[in-house]
Amino acid sequence: MAIVTFYEKPGCGTNARQKLALSNAGHTLEVRSLLAEPWTAERLRGFFGDTPVAAWFNPAAPKVKSGAVDPFAVGAAAAIALMLAEPLLIRRPLVETDSGRCAGFDREPVLSLLGPSDPGARPLEGCSSPHAPCPDPAERKAS
């Protein structure tokens, strides 16, 4: 079984289900806050591989949902700069293992970690919050 570094948005219900799926598959998780991690451009870029820039963004991020950020109109360098300034824009989870890194729960190395999928299982991607887009954790604490 693998040791998985799992960068999450604390309190995210979807991330909680994803962590449970990895734990149930026998993996050891090292959970970190995506929002508190001291990212650098080079380190963050390594999670996206050769995926299109638009796929780097969290589609449920408030600025994406409102149209303030258009993931399809942003180049790689600008996308990374936006994400460093506002980590809620980063597609999550970010997952790191000995075999690779990825953003999101629908690509390698996550698929290999989970093994064959149950066709009747609840999807493990996308925001499960009834308040989508997900509220900013700082705003939630203030209310």
Q: How many CB atoms lie within 10 A of CB 3?
A: 11
142: enclosing H helix or E strand: helix 137-142
- CA-CA distance, 79 to 49, in Å (whole number)? 14
13 touches 38 (CB < 8 A): no
Q: Is 134 a catalytic residue?
A: no
What does the block give as tokens for 129?
């919050």
Catalytic residue (one of 12, 102, 127, 134): 12
What does the block give as tokens for 85?
């300034």
List, by residue number, the catalytic residues.
12
